């Protein structure tokens, strides 16, 4: 049986040792916008499309909210509405309108704190959406969610780190760097596999992260 590969600091030859985790708190800044001024009932009605628009007062300005704003507001509904809101969010991921899919991706990291079922499956799908703007929103969602949901985004992060698309790989690396602050042991696993890649660029970039991982050790 082959020996398990152990990621080692190339300067010392010693195994990378890290703490199990640092924090379980959401480690991103939630998106803020005028949808936060919506009443929960209006959020739900806008998100499902039964209400076309609603005006709100936001920072001294009256603004008109539409369905995409309702979708972005789904993370702000009270606890008893989370179940129905989750169903609306799943529907938004497969909506024909790319703006609705983007809105769903925008709220994904926040909503996943409350209920994550199927969200990361959809994230994986939308990373390859036919619309470039949706792909970009998915990359941003992956980056923002990585520090809080390392297991949920693991396979997507592995793929995106190796993406030939520069924008997609950059977003993934940014997410991996943020992950060192919350789950350095998971980052060590990613670095472990990246150091075995035939692509020298990937190996060099992974090696540069070792010091950040080691600084989080117990």
Together in a domain, 92 and 145:
no
Confidence of residue 152 (pLDDT cuts 50, 70, 90): very high
pLDDT of residue 216: 63
**pLDDT tens-place string over residues 13-23:** 445 444 444 44
Together in a domain, 144 and 213:
yes
Together in a domain, 87 and 138:
no
Q: Are 19 and 185 in contact (CB under 8 A)?
A: yes
Together in a domain, 141 and 166:
yes
State the residue for tokens 């060099």.
204
Together in a domain, 111 and 140:
no
Domain-terminating residue out of 95, 117, 139: 117
Together in a domain, 137 and 218:
yes
This prediction has a pTM of 0.85
Least confident of 6-10, 104-108, 134-138: 6-10
Torsions phi, psi for 165 (to 5 deg): -80, 115
**Does 1 fall in a domain?**
no
**Does 22 fall in a domain?**
no
Query: What distance in Å separates the CA atoms of residue 9 and residue 93, rounded to the nearest whole number?
Result: 41
Number of domains in the chain: 2
Distances (CA, A) of 217 to 16, 188, 211: 9, 11, 10
Together in a domain, 110 and 179:
no
In the chain, count H helices and then E strands.
11, 2
**Does 125 fall in a domain?**
no
Nearest of 112, 76, 194, 113 to residue 123 by alpha carbon: 112
pLDDT of residue 212: 77
Domain-terminating residue out of 67, 91, 117: 117
**pLDDT tens-place string over residues 47-78:** 999 999 999 999 999 999 999 999 999 999 99
pLDDT of residue 211: 82
**Does 9 fall in a domain?**
no
**Does 197 fall in a domain?**
yes
Together in a domain, 53 and 83:
yes
**Does 14 fall in a domain?**
no
Domain holding 58, by residue range, is 29-117
State the residue for tokens 């708190």.
25
Together in a domain, 42 and 105:
yes
**Does 51 fall in a domain?**
yes
Average pLDDT over residues 83-96: 98
**Does 94 fall in a domain?**
yes
Lookup: tokens for 182: 């919350």
Domain-terminating residue out of 78, 93, 117: 117
Nearest of 134, 31, 121 to residue 73 by alpha carbon: 31
Together in a domain, 90 and 148:
no
Together in a domain, 97 and 141:
no
């Amino acid at each position: 049986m082959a020996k398990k590969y152990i990621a080692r600091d190339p300067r010392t030859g010693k195994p990378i040792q890290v703490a199990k985790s640092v924090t379980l708190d959401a480690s991103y800044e939630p998106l803020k916008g005028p949808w936060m001024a919506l009443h929960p009932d209006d959020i739900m009605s806008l998100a499902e499309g039964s209400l076309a628009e609603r005006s709100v007062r936001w920072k001294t300005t009256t603004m008109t909210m539409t369905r995409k704003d309702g979708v972005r507001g789904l993370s702000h509904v009270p606890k008893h509405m989370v179940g129905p809101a989750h169903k609306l969010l799943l529907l938004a991921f497969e909506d024909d309108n790319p703006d609705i899919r983007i809105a769903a991706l925008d709220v994904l990291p926040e909503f996943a704190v409350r209920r994550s079922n199927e969200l990361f499956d959809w994230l994986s799908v939308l990373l390859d959406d036919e619309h470039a703007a949706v792909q970009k929103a998915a990359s941003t969602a992956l980056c923002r969610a990585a520090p809080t949901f390392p297991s949920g985004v693991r396979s997507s992060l592995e793929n995106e780190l190796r993406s030939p698309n520069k924008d997609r790989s950059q977003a993934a690396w940014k997410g991996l760097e943020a992950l060192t602050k919350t789950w350095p042991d998971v980052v060590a696993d990613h670095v472990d596999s990246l150091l075995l890649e035939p692509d020298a660029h990937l190996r060099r970039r992974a090696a540069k992260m070792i010091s950040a991982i080691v600084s989080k050790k117990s």
